[in-house]
Amino acid sequence: MLKVFIADDSALVRESLAALISEIEGVEVVGQAGDASEALEGIQHLRPDVVILDIRMPGNNGIQVLEAIKKSTAAPVVIMLTALPYPQYRKKCLEAGAEYFFDKASEFEQVAKVLKKMQGSTAGESTPPPELGL
C-alpha cells in the first residue's frame, strides 16, 4: 500500500486530492495538514511514502518543509503542487530535493498519474519510478 500525506492550506484542495487519490487502487491518504508545523509533525509520525506539498502555507513555507523532510534518511517522495509555478520556485524545489513540481491550475491530474506509476512500481518491481515533472 502506497501511503500519501497531503499538506496544503486549502481544505478544498486537500479534499479534492483525497477524493482523487481514493480512486487509485493500492494508494491511501494517511494524513493531512493545513500548515507547516502540522505537516512536519504528521510526516514524522506517519512516515508516508509520498508527500504532496504546497509552497504557500501558514507558518514555515512548503519549501522549508521540503528541506526539513529531505534531511531524513528515509525521506518520502515529494510532489510539489502549487499555484506558484514560477521558474525560480521550480528550481528551488528541485535543489531542495522535490521529485515532482506541478501547477495546481493546469497539472492537478498529474498527481494521480505519478501515484499510479509509483503504485505499479511498488507492486512488483524493485526499482523506483523514474523522476518526472521537473
Q: How does pLDDT run across 8-29, given as a tens digit for each residue?
A: 999 999 999 999 999 999 999 9
What CATH number is associated with residue 19? Answer: 3.40.50.2300
The answer to whether residue 48 is domain-embedded is: yes
The answer to whether residue 134 is domain-embedded is: no
Task: Calculate what percentage of the chain has a pLDDT beyond 90.
Answer: 84
Number of domains in the chain: 1
Q: Is the pLDDT of residue 122 over 60?
A: yes
Alpha-carbon span 60 to 35, nearest angstrom: 8
Q: Which domain holds residue 81?
A: 2-124
Q: Where are the beta strands (DSSP E) in 1-134?
A: 2-7, 27-33, 50-53, 77-82, 100-103
The conformation of residue 97, written as its DSSP 8-state character, comes to T
Q: Is the pLDDT of residue 129 over 50?
A: no
The answer to whether residue 131 is domain-embedded is: no
Q: Give the model's pLDDT for residue 53.
A: 97
The answer to whether residue 130 is domain-embedded is: no
Burial class (CB in 10 A: 0-12, 13-18, 19+), 47: middle
The answer to whether residue 67 is domain-embedded is: yes
The answer to whether residue 69 is domain-embedded is: yes
Provide the grid cell at 82.
502549487
- State pLDDT tens for residues 40-63: 999 999 999 999 999 999 988 999
pTM: 0.89
Q: Is the pLDDT of residue 72 over 90?
A: no
- What is the number of alpha carbons within 13 Å of residue 21 lying toward its C-beta? 26
Average pLDDT over residues 83-103: 96
The answer to whether residue 133 is domain-embedded is: no
The answer to whether residue 132 is domain-embedded is: no
